[in-house]
């Protein structure tokens, strides 16, 4: 039998073929290696995931689904997609998984296409309260094609008020109710969302793009048994390639979802990415992943506690997951200024809206921090306290106007020490 191992492609192939692309990629590798990555949407995949994504499956067009393709030569594509489906079902305890969406946004769009008509009402968490663009923002298709109704967090507790959700739903009678977000750090009452949806005759969609890895590991409540349909990304806390999935339990829902994704929304799946999803899902099924996920939550709490102790305002006073949102208004700083200052010392965060934010989206009044990527590097509670101290020193210096080159250099040396002690695995 012929050798079926994947061809080994040396990095010199790219370097010699396209030095400009190589230089950008090499520079990004150095940036990732030497930076403390706190963007909650990001993580570091394993070598195995990267090898699968860079495999010969990038050459295969496999329009359709396993066993029902519109192209020949799809036996291996079927095998890898079936593997990803089986692992997703085992990991999340669902009856059906569509692993083809190219992103979390397209997973959400697949649900909309399956169940909604233009002009229908959808109801999701307001962007400033931690929601996502695809949950009804006016700049998104979800807000342009559908009537968008938002619920917000309580002004005092900064938690979702389920009484408010119920009142709005009973008044507006949306066709779809969405729970989940990109900057909400607390657990959600999935069961109550479902009860409200049933009461008004709505579809209940849970978007777990951020917490999917934590859900899979059992350290964050799962919505799968409550939601009609659950969407997610495969990166972030799930630590896989950039992509999406849609999970469901009902056969009729599954049929509609599959038809919406293909042929309704997108054509041929990215089979190399599907293969990488399969590898990542396999990794998440191992006991070590549960240990990792618990550490992610513990580290996020340590970081948020340290920032709070240092005088920063943490939205909802803490976190139940991998992320925290910091309100900078008491310190009279903008998210943009904080993001820029922290990047100068090698700490990467993203500016983020906070509840009641009046600043422009490209400025914002807060930042979002996440623990998943640095936990992958092996950092623990002591290191996250140290990271918190670096953030406090940097933002405190900017706030007081006392920041100088010597202080910046000292903090940056601390970043270099941490990243040197906890290198990337590649």
Active site residues: 61, 63, 207, 233, 236, 242
| Proportion of the chain in helix, strand, coil states, percent, rounded to 5 | 50, 15, 35
Cβ-proximal residues to 395 (8 Å cutoff; 6+ apart), any chain: 312, 328, 331, 333, 338, 341, 342
* 36 preceded by a cis bond (ω within 30 of 0): no
Does 38 count as an annotated binding residue?
no
Measured in degrees and rounded to the nearest 5, phi and psi for residue 203 equal -80, 135
Does 136 count as an annotated binding residue?
no
As a whole number of angstroms, the distance between CA 272 and CA 57 comes to 5
The sign of the CA dihedral 322, 106, 286, 421 is negative
Residue 37: strand pairing partners: 348
The DSSP-derived string for 58-119 is: GG----EETTEESSS--HHHHHHHHHHHHHHHHHHT-SEEE---SSHHHHHHHHHHHH--TT
As a whole number of angstroms, the distance between CA 70 and CA 399 comes to 60
Does 127 count as an annotated binding residue?
yes
By three-state DSSP, how is residue 157 classified? coil
Place of tokens 């305002």: 313
Cβ-proximal residues to 419 (8 Å cutoff; 6+ apart), any chain: 33, 34, 35, 36, 346, 377
Does 201 count as an annotated binding residue?
no
Which residues define the annotated binding site? 127, 131-133
Which residues define the annotated binding site for (6S)-5,6,7,8-tetrahydrofolate? 127, 131-133
């Amino acid at each position: 039998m012929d050798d079926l191992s994947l061809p080994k492609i040396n990095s010199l192939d790219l370097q010699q073929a396209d030095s400009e692309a190589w230089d950008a990629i090499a520079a990004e590798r150095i940036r990732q290696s030497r930076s403390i990555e706190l963007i909650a949407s990001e993580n570091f995949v394993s070598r195995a995931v990267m090898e699968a994504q860079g495999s010969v499956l990038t050459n295969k067009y496999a329009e359709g689904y396993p066993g029902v393709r519109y192209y020949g030569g799809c036996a291996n594509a079927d095998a890898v997609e079936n593997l990803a489906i089986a692992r997703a079902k085992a990991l999340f305890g669902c009856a059906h998984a569509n692993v083809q969406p190219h992103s979390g946004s397209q997973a959400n769009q697949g649900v909309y296409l399956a169940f909604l008509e233009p002009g229908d009402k959808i109801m999701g968490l307001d962007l400033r309260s931690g929601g996502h663009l695809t949950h009804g923002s006016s700049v998104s298709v979800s807000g342009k094609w559908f009537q968008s109704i938002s619920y917000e967090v309580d002004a005092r507790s900064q938690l979702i008020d389920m009484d408010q959700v119920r009142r709005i739903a009973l008044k507006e009678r949306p066709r779809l109710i969405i729970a989940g977000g990109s900057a909400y750090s607390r657990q959600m009452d999935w069961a109550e969302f479902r009860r409200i949806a049933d009461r008004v005759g709505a579809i209940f969609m849970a978007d777990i793009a951020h917490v999917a890895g934590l859900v899979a590991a059992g350290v964050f409540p799962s919505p799968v048994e409550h939601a009609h349909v659950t969407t997610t990304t495969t990166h972030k806390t799930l630590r896989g390639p950039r992509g999406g999935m849609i999970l469901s339990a009902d056969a009729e829902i599954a049929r509609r979802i599959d038809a919406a994704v293909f042929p309704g929304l997108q054509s041929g799946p990215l089979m190399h990415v599907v293969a990488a999803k399969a590898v990542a899902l396999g990794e998440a099924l191992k006991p070590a992943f549960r240990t990792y996920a618990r550490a992610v939550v513990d580290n996020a709490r340590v970081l948020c506690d340290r920032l709070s102790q240092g005088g920063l305002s943490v939205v909802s006073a803490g976190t139940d997951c991998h992320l925290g949102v910091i309100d900078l208004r008491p310190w009279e700083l903008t998210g943009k200024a904080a993001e820029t200052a922290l990047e100068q010392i090698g700490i990467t965060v993203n500016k983020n809206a906070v509840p009641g934010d009046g600043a422009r989206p490209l400025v914002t009044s807060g930042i979002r921090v996440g623990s998943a990527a640095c936990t992958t590097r092996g950092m623990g509670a002591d290191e996250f306290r140290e990271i918190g101290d670096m953030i406090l020193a940097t933002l405190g210096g900017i706030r007081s106007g006392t920041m100088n080159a010597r202080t910046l250099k000292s903090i940056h040396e601390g970043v270099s020490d941490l990243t040197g002690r906890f290198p990337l695995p590649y």
